[in-house]
Chain A
């Protein structure tokens, strides 16, 4: 583990762009980040244990942090993966002061530890700064709601891929599935026209999906699953 104080240029920019700070003027963010420490974790490290009390929150610069709870039998259940540019444990800072979950950094993760005190002092002293933070969090909520909708509002190709994947419990490898309905019924189920379904089927041929009547062969389920999530990764 290596640690040092203060934020350099790119690290400051990353912290400035987290949803909580995004709407703030630069000097307000400087004030909030005056006492930070940057900590690098060479190996997998537990950052917070459930029930820990804390007076700080964190921003991931590189690597990844896993939030998880332990089930009754001691097994881990992952709550959320925190990617670079995102913060966690704000709830601990703003409310309870108690960590509701465990947090573990992957090897190679760099974290900014932000003490709560300057942030809370600024919020207490300046209602306008607090409102800017709330506005920014509301804007992010709107953005993320759009992304939930974005997933559900998939292209015909993705809808077909999703419908085919729903027919098999397999996660990888080759499988043959039976549609169980005619293609025009399938088109109706996934909310597209039969013509659009034919075009979608033709598109999926490129990634190894072939059909014969109601029988559809998927050469590589994992590939189809990736397509379903992101149909054009190269052009993204």
Chain B
């Protein structure tokens, strides 16, 4: 996916509404109101449409990014001309933080999946906070440790689960831990979801058909009804349903 010389991203100051949203983002809570205000005054927002590249893999990391609206795909190159989706990030998720450290380059590329709005916090501003405040060092270490656990979990899911099980697990992630029938909305194209789950779109369709007998029904392109999340959970964990 190569953009033919896209215009540079248009960086705008944050609106009051953006600031309100960012204050509620879990990552920023430990920074406290004063430090938040300083960080957000240096931040900028951008908006972009689907498929727009936000940053490239191995690009020097100048910002920490926060999704305000929409879905962003984090994509890693796996060979010449081939790449895979590592993660989908939605509202309130922080991305690109690994680029603040070590090689100071982003380990993945980020592309807009839907229309998106993101805040960009200068890397230097975040690093200055970490340098001066021990509590924020702890916070950042906890955040980075959590990321490693999430990746280990994702790798084991990809390795151990069959395609229908991976889909079941993904749907359960969307229903959360609520019980009883749930309706979930897919924020992006099914092709993107297939890619995320390491399967072809055809395999995704077959998996969806397989899950029909467990009470999973599609309603149109973007809506899926899960009649009994518990049944689905048992299936995703490998028990005979």
Task: State whether A148 touches B158 (Cβ < 8 A).
Answer: yes
Q: Is the Cβ of A169 less than 8 Å from the Cβ of B210? A: yes
Chain A residues with Cβ below 8 Å from B145 are: 19-20, 90-91, 94, 137
B174-209 CB mask vs A (1 if < 8 Å, else 0) is 000101000000000000000000111011001100
Distance between Cα atoms of A150 and B146 in the complex (Å)? 21
Which residues of chain A from 116 to 152 have any CB-CB distance to chain B below 8 Å in the complex? 120, 123-124, 127, 130-131, 133-142, 144-152
Q: Is B155 a contact of A166 with CB atoms below 8 Å? A: no
**How distant is B179 from chain A, measured CB to nearest CB, in Å?**
5
Enumerate chain A residues within 8 angstroms of B131, measured Cβ to Cβ. Answer: 127
Q: Chain B residues with Cβ under 8 A from A137's Cβ?
A: 101, 141, 144-145, 147-148
Q: Is B154 an interface residue (CB 8 A)?
A: yes
Measured CA separation A144–B158 after assembly (Å): 13
> Are A151 and B233 CB-contacts (below 8 A) given A130-B130, A137-B144?
no
Asked if A182 is at the interface of the complex by the 8 Å CB criterion, the answer is: no
Nearest CB on A from B201, distance (A): 9
Q: Are B98 and A152 in contact (CB under 8 A)?
A: no
Contact B98 A142 (CB under 8 A): yes
Q: Output the nearest chain B residue to A116 by Cβ-Cβ distance.
A: B138
Report the minimal beta-carbon distance from B125 to chain A, rounded to whole angstroms.
Answer: 16
Closest to A170 in B: B162
Task: Tell whether A184 is near chain B: CB-to-CB under 8 Å.
Answer: no
Binds A, one of B10-18, B37-45, B76-84: B76-84
Cα–Cα distance between A147 and B152 once the two chains are bound (Å)? 9
A153 to chain B minimum Cβ distance, whole angstroms, is 4
Instruction: Give the complex CA separation of A135 and B151 in angstroms.
Output: 17
Q: Is A2 an interface residue (CB 8 A)?
A: no
A153 touches B79 (CB 8 A): yes
Other-chain contact of A153, B82, B156, B238 (Cβ < 8 Å):
B82
Q: Is the CB of B142 within 8 A of A95?
A: yes
Task: Tell yes or no: B46 within 8 A of A by CB.
Answer: no
Of the listed stretches A9-17, A29-37, A76-84, A199-207, name the one at the interface; the rest are far from the partner chain: A76-84
A59-80 interface code vs B (CB 8 A; 1 in, 0 out)? 0000000000101110101111
Rounded to whole angstroms, the CA-CA distance of A79 and B173 in the bound complex is 12
Nearest A residue (CB) for B76 = A149
Kindly supply a per-residue 1/0 record for chain B positions 129-151, scoring 1 wherever the CB is within 8 Å of any chain A CB and 0 otherwise.
Answer: 01100100111111011111101
A141 to B145, CA, bound (A): 9
B230 interface residue per 8 A CB criterion? yes
| Interface size of B in residues (CB-CB distance below 8 Å) | 58
Q: Quick one: closest A residue to B141, CB to CB?
A: A94
- In the assembled complex, the Cα of A133 lies from the Cα of B79 at a distance in Å of 30
**A176 to B100, alpha carbons, bound, how many Å?**
51
Q: In the complex, what distance in Å separates the CA atom of A31 from the CA atom of B130? A: 22
A90–B147 Cα distance when bound, in Å, is 11
A222–B203 Cα gap in the complex (Å)?
19
- Tally chain A residues at the interface, Cβ within 8 Å: 56
Interface presence of B34 (CB below 8 A): no
State in angstroms the CA–CA spacing of A150 and B158 once bound together: 11
CA A79 to CA B99, docked complex, whole Å: 27
* Bound Cα distance A141, B77 (Å): 15
Task: Kindly provide the distance from the CB of B2 to the nearest chain A CB, expressed in whole angstroms.
Answer: 18
Q: Which residues of B contact A88 (CB under 8 A)?
A: 149
B142 & A90 in contact (Cβ 8 Å cutoff)? yes
Interface residues of B in 28-54 (CB under 8 A from A): 30
Spell out A's residues near B (CB within 8 Å).
Answer: 19-20, 69, 71-73, 75, 77-81, 86, 88, 90-91, 93-95, 120, 123-124, 127, 130-131, 133-142, 144-153, 162-163, 165-167, 169, 171, 189-190, 225, 229
Q: Closest 9 A-B residue pairs measured CB to CB?
A: A94-B142, A153-B78, A138-B101, A137-B144, A124-B134, A90-B145, A144-B151, A166-B203, A149-B78
Known contacts A91-B145, A131-B130, then 4 further A-B pairs from the complex at CB < 8 Å, ordered by chain A residue: A127-B130, A130-B130, A137-B147, A146-B76
**Pairs across A and B, CB under 8 Å, 21 listed:** A72-B230, A81-B156, A90-B141, A90-B145, A95-B30, A95-B139, A123-B134, A134-B101, A137-B147, A138-B144, A139-B103, A142-B102, A142-B103, A144-B148, A145-B107, A145-B108, A148-B76, A148-B86, A149-B84, A153-B79, A162-B163
